Structure 1
């Protein structure tokens, strides 16, 4: 019963999006080791020492649910880890929960009827990682134990009870587990509350900025000299601001923020239309917001850009950010608060996925963003479309929040592998 820090936004990658790192076919030695011990550690892995390997093996031996774990060197991309794990699981062919720790990145999924719901293996991996950041062995053991609880199996304490012969040991475990779970729930509730506060604060900054920019237009609706079309666009901008403000005040979960940023995007374009009409110029075509900072309004062109450690991709940018990137400078990123630090919103965690999704809802939504956000903190944790669901902060039964080495998976059949939707994170 280990309910630790939770995150799931499963990240599905289109075919061929694995990047420059090719996925190797399963080695027969790996398949053989998993079938015999349900564990494999490659010679080039550095995540676990000998003691850590022994602990993980013992946890797997005592597990009443079939759990298969692999520990390898860094495969380079989340897509590579996802595909390799899927291939190995299908090669082993046994019903169970499969996990792969590649370098510091951990993904998981289930194959067959394991007692887990679809995508639940990834959620458990995310929780275990978030609670055991920097301690891979602790995280893997916690993951095995949480799979047993979630699949309806009791933690394997019988062998310990028989070894020591004391019913008191079992009692201590039960009592200790009760307090541990209660403490874990409190920590998770505090994390959810903090994440929602940070998200709402960031969205409120966007709403306030839109209101200030609209006021700066200083358009007199009563003046007969003002073009009627400009007045109409100005009113639309004000209406969008009002919708965004009301939606922010009523928001209770991260998903609610999608409605806010949809209204903000509409208001930003209406402002651009007002400025164009006031200057006697044609109203620009409606394009997706500037990816680097949606507060900058609609983009004017696409530029090639790569996140830290990621591959280049086309990104919509405003004129100022496009010029910066093309001249080798960093764009003016939208910085948000995350655990007391400011960082770009695309590296702030999966709870910011609806924030981004709302801005791009009219431009392909998550289908467009998947290609842009591949390899970022948001992109590595959400699914391949809105239907997959994304992080929900503020709902006790939702996904999202924190977590750092887990993800979901989809192998087909009755479990997860096969339909895409891997996520992941880093120790």
Structure 2
């Protein structure tokens, strides 16, 4: 039996024993935009404050809040960040969860916005978001009080869930002990059968995931190569006197995105892992667009979804009306070149990907490309990608629970507090959900 299955079996048996037991008794100066580093910090201390957001929560207040979280014995992770678009807006919750790699409740103050998201195994995402909104109403304009109240409410909610079912247990007698023993035996047998079936299901799923990952890996490498070629063709020298500090920062973010994409591609083990690759590339393409505008002296581009027809083209500039073969018309974001083609009645420069020995437009490539597309478009709202892909083969494969991560209904498994588990899912799919509830002040 694989080690993970043994751990899961141990966990299931521990839960069963706990159920039977209830019958016997009542029971830095620069904004930190590297989310991976924030995740590392949260693993050792549950409260992270970006130096540029220290006016919202002081060092002493952060220490006091961390002590309260530890005393409450709840997996709450708090990040207080400046209003920096590099954090990805609403996407920061899922990015922090991935970087920290621990099930829990994630509370984020981003500029003047505050909200929360959580793993369903810890607390329903809708509950964590509601508690965030509740404390915003109670303590308007006072982030320290909002966070204190939020932690207290989360602790009460989590410990209240743990206590459910511990009331009304009968006194321990010979009869009840015998009944409990019989119940335990039955539950163990049922658990064994369930674990066996779970193991077979998981084996089939992993075989399918390996096949899908191999199918999409070629497209991922093409994307990384195209991005690398765009970087090498910049002819940008950070030490040139004409290079401003802002240009150097843009260039640094573009390089970081390239390295992150390569690293995430090398470590990808499941189709869902591909999302982190294309998410990094989407960030990189936007940084390059900003850098280009600075160098040309033109207005900085608006943060928009990438070109629908080929995300390698970079951020879109406007929406155009388009319809797939045999499908209904819809409005899609497009780069300037593709927008012009479509408006002139020509075919756009579509991104084709390898499928079964041939190449097809990615929207006709099937479910393996869901996470790939999710990384590019997921940060712009959970409803965007399904709306763009309606009536296509890829759109038809998206489950009703499709979320920003591009995940499908059975995409992940969660462990207990702090065990990391297998991470999957995202906002709205029942595994990890929540978001910003509102603002706590004007400056944040």
TM-score (norm 2): 0.45
Question: Higher relative contact order at CA 8 Å, sep ≥6: structure 1 or structure 2?
Answer: 1
More helix, by proportion: 2
TM-score (norm 1): 0.47
